[in-house]
Each structure stands twice: as C-alpha cells, then as structure tokens.
Structure 1
Amino acid sequence: MKSLKSILTLSFLFLTAISSFVCSDGLELKDFKEDVVKTVVVSPNGAANFKTIQDAIDYIPSGNKNWIKIILSPGIYNEKIVIPKEKQKIIMQGNNASEVIIQYNNDAGLSNASAVIVDAEYFAAINITFKNANCSKSTPIIPKEEVKVAPSIILMADKAWFYGCNFISVQDTLADKVGRHYFKNCYIEGAIDFIWGSGQSIYQNCVIHVRGLTSKGGEMLTGFITAQGRESEQDKSGFVFKNCVINGNGMASLGRAYRGYSRVLFYKTNMSNVIVAQGWDAWKHKGHEDKITYAEVKCTGEGANKEKRVKWEKNLPPKEIKFLIDPKTFIDEDGWMGSLPSSLVSLL
C-alpha cells in the first residue's frame, strides 16, 4: 500500500506540472504563476488529477488562504457541486464556455436546487457554462405549467467574480442571493425571475436572453428578468446592468420587486422588443412603489422606449448613477477586486 501511495503521489505531481502548459481562450496558466500556488486538472474521462469537480474541491484544504486553480477539461460534468465556506480562493477555469458544461437536473427548492452552490468567499469562474437541466429544453418556447424553480448556480457568499460564463435555465436561473459579485462578458438565459436575490452586483457587457413562455392555451406570457431583494434604505444591495444586451424570443418585464426596496439600474443597455412597454412590476408591493428604485439610463433599442413606462420609475441624479455604475464605489469599496490574481484584475 505504501508503494501504491507513492506512485499515486508522483503521478499527481507529474500531472500538476503538465497542467502548467494548458492554455484557454487567451489566458495561459503562466499568467497566474505569480498568484496561484497550485493548479489541478479535472477531466470527466479520468485523464487528469481528478475525475469530478467535487473531488477537486474536497482536495483543497479547509481554511485555504492561497489561490488554487482548478482547470476543467472540455466535457459535460453531470454533478452537483458544493463549495463550502472554508474553501476560499478558488478559481475554476474552462477553455471555452460552450465546451465546459456543469449541469444538474434539480428542482428541490430555492436553497438547494442548483448545479453549483457557492458558500465560500473569493470565488472566480472563467469560461464555464452553469446549467440546470430541469426544464431547460432546447425548444425556445416553454409552457408555464412545466416550469419549476431550477437555478443553475446559487451564490451565498461575498466576493465572487465571473468572466465569459453562461448561466442557463428557465426560472431563477442565477441565484444572486448574498454578497458582492461582478459578472463580465457573461450570458444569462431564462424566463421567470432569472436573475434574482439580494446580491450587490454589477453585470457588465453581458447578454441577457429572454426565453418564450406560454399558457396552456398557447398565449404568450410575460416573464421577468430580475427579482431583486433589497429590504431597506440602508440595504446596500442592488443589480446594475452596464453596457449589456437584452434579446430573446419571449416577452419580459425588466424586473419585479422581490422585496419592498428592490433596486435595479440598466445603464447603456441595448434592449430589443422583448421588453414590454410598462417595463417594471411592483409585484407584492403595489402602493409602495415610492420605495422601489428602478431606473434606465442612456439605454437604446426598440425595447428602451420609455413613453409607456410605469410612472414610478426613478430618475436618478447623476451622482447616484455614477456611484452605482463604478465598481470601485458600488461593490469594491474595500478593494477586494484588487486582491484577485493579476491576470483576472487585468480583465476587469
């Protein structure tokens, strides 16, 4: 047994060394060597350090204080992944989001129904598709009675960063529940409340795709892009969409108020005609619209026509707009984004 253990250890070290030559979408591992202390490789066919992503996560020591990189080889990873709070400073990277897919079929409720649950701070993902296979049919139009709560990822921790990732489901696709998060060059697809939670997040240069939703009789129904959960004037949370694109084959409101002080800003976003004329919905908070902060600034496209928008949509002062769209003031006041590995910082 001792001999076998030695062989396995040597094999692990060899594969780790080989992994330093892996490249992905313009980001090479040599770019990370000053910041990342260890790199491991996962492959669903077993030709790597680990066969499953969860095995790689479990390998990382509790209380980890150094950046560890997990390279995901191309393939479909059919597994449920949980990153516990004691496993901080993890980077998961694929070579191309269309070739690296983490998926799981689960509709077990908002707290658990997801392919990936992130409970740890300082998490980064690059070029990965997160998909909940439950009711994520390839057909563009989905009957509403078939739709279930099925997030692709649940973010339960502060300080998470995503670049070039896809998030695919129908209802509650991206559970941006707690903490400060930054999404850049990402693709988010769904029909009902598909970006939701009490997160304090900026979505920059992202594509938001609205899927079609129909009644039993085949009538096209209106969905909702956001359901943000800010709960008071002191609550710092909110969703900011900056230089994004909204398209799709369905119809949707820009958002409905998940909590009474919901806050969402679309800034310089191109909106196709999938956006309904009224734009926003107070949902359970009708009569208290003055506490909701929904705004659009310098948006373009057919769906950005504000002539028939709800009367209570806010006209924010320039100072507040500047505060919300700048990562340094809205989500990075303590400088956590600067502590990311240098090549990640260069992509901000």
Structure 2
Amino acid sequence: MDGKRIEGNEVYALVISVSILLFAPIVVSQPIPADKSQVEAWFNGIIKPVKERGKTLNPELVEAETEPRIIKVMQGGGGEFDTITKAIESVPSGNAKFDGTAKQYGTVDSATLITESSYFVGANLNIVNSAPRPDGKTVGAQAVALRVSGDRSAFYNYKIIGFQDTLCDDRGNHFFKDCHIRGTVDFIFGSETSLYLVLIFSTREI
C-alpha cells in the first residue's frame, strides 16, 4: 500500500466530515423499488436536508452537527490543502501509519483509508491501493483500500480500487451509492449490514 501516492488527475475535490453536513442517514421507511428506473426517485424522496429532519435524527448526530470537523482538498486551490497527502499529514501523530500491507499491520489495519467514526459521509473520492496483485506465493502482500468500521456511514460516487481485499465493509450499517468497486480475491468482505445501490463491481485481471 502506498497511502501517500494519489493519482493527481483523478481527484478533483474532496470534503471529509465526521458528521453529516447536508443529508441525514437513510431510514428505509419505503421498500426499495424493484424497477431500476424508479430507484433514483425513491432515493431523492427519502434523503432530506438535515434541517428538514428535525427531531427524527439520532441525538448523537445532532450533537456532532454543532461543530463538524471538515477537511477540504481541492487541486486548483480553494481548500485547506491541494493534495490528499497534505491533508493526511495534517492528522496528529497517533494516526500516522501509512505505507504497509497485511504482513506488517494485519489485513483490517492495512487500509489506505479507514473510517471509524459513525455518520461518516464521503463523496467523489478515488481510493486506489497500490499493493501488488496476488501471485499465490507471497503471504500477507495484500492490503485494503477502504475499511469502514463506524455505524451509519455513507459513500457517494466513490472509486475503490485494489487487488485482494479491496473493501473491508467491517462493522455497522453502511450505504454505498454510485460507487465503482474493483478487485480480485475477496474484494468485498466483512461483517457489515450494508446497502449497495447502483454500483459497478469489476474484477481486475491478474
């Protein structure tokens, strides 16, 4: 894994927040329509701005919304950082483990990006793990691109790319929409309860 190498021409803008800024988490009060052409309308009818949700929100989320921590990364300026590497380097010591595979850290701790807080929401981000493709001989050479361990997290328009163990959908309830997830062996695994909506799954050639 190379947690510091980002394909610069693929990442346009990033907003990371440990709480929800615009949208409340999904509460599936209506069945997901079997007709795919109706899914987008169903989604738009359920997702509402936080201000419109009022007392239906979890109190922990309401508390988190009062002082959200936001990191903005934009290549052309306008954010706090112009690269994700600089944003990562701004994180205090104690969160400074990057660069490693399952052999060094174990599978679940080898991820390029790990989200452990509940109500994490991310959008428009490419997470590419550069651990080598499996050769069937090297033990522990794989590494995770994304591990999600917080509850009620949501991901929109992500590209999550690796070889073995690409997405560790670890614990909690998660929502993925319009995401592209690519890998080879066990490229999605974990003990989660998640909803995957309008996704592209693909396998990488070995």
Q: TM-score range by the shorter chain?
A: 0.5 to 0.7
DSSP 3-state at the match of 2:144: coil
Shift of 1:65: 4.1
Q: Alpha carbons of 1:73 and 1:121: their partners in 2 closer, same or farther (altered >3 Å)?
A: same
The alignment yields a C-alpha RMSD, in angstroms, of: 3.4
Question: Aligned pair count?
Answer: 134
Tell me how far apart the structure 2 counterparts of residues 199 and 166 of structure 1 sit (CA, whole Å). 19
| Aligned partners of 1:188 and 1:209 also within 8 Å | yes
Identity of aligned residues (%): 24
Question: What is the one-letter code of the residue matched to 2:84?
Answer: Y
**Aligned residue in 1 for 2:175:** 182
Q: Alpha carbons of 1:77 and 1:186: their partners in 2 closer, same or farther (altered >3 Å)?
A: same
Q: Alpha carbons of 1:105 and 1:168: their partners in 2 closer, same or farther (altered >3 Å)?
A: farther
**Aligned residue in 1 for 2:57:** none
Does 1:106 find its partner at 2:103? no
Does 1:116 find its partner at 2:113? yes
Residue in structure 2 matching 1:145, options 137, 142, 159:
137
Shift of 1:118: 1.2
Tell me how far apart the structure 1 counterparts of residues 13 and 126 of structure 2 sit (CA, whole Å). 15
**Aligned residue in 2 for 1:73:** 74
Larger radius of gyration between Structure 1 and Structure 2: 1
Q: Gaps (5+ residues) in structure 1? A: 1-22, 26-30, 37-62, 84-103, 137-141, 214-348
**Aligned residue in 1 for 2:153:** 160
Q: Alpha carbons of 1:159 and 1:132: their partners in 2 closer, same or farther (altered >3 Å)?
A: same
Instruction: Kindly indicate which of the two structures has a greater share of residues assigned to strand.
Output: 1
Shift of 1:163: 0.4
Question: What is the one-letter code of the residue matched to 1:70?
Answer: I
Question: What is the one-letter code of the residue matched to 1:111?
Answer: V
Residue in structure 2 matching 1:130, options 127, 132, 155:
127
DSSP 3-state at the match of 1:181: strand
Tell me how far apart the structure 1 counterparts of residues 197 and 175 of structure 2 sit (CA, whole Å). 8
Tell me how far apart the structure 1 counterparts of residues 176 and 126 of structure 2 sit (CA, whole Å). 13
Return the structure number with greater relative CO, CA threshold 8 A, min gap 6: 2
Question: What is the one-letter code of the residue matched to 1:174?
Answer: L
Q: Gaps (5+ residues) in structure 2? A: 1-11, 15-20, 23-48, 52-62, 76-81, 92-97
Q: Deviations over 1:46-90 (max 9, x none)?
A: xxxxxxxxxxxxxxxxx8443444322136534869x9xxxxxxx
Q: Alpha carbons of 1:211 and 1:78: their partners in 2 closer, same or farther (altered >3 Å)?
A: same
Runs of 4+ in 1 over 6 A off after TM superposition: none
| Aligned partners of 2:73 and 2:84 also within 8 Å | no
- TM-score, normalised by the number of residues in structure 1: 0.34
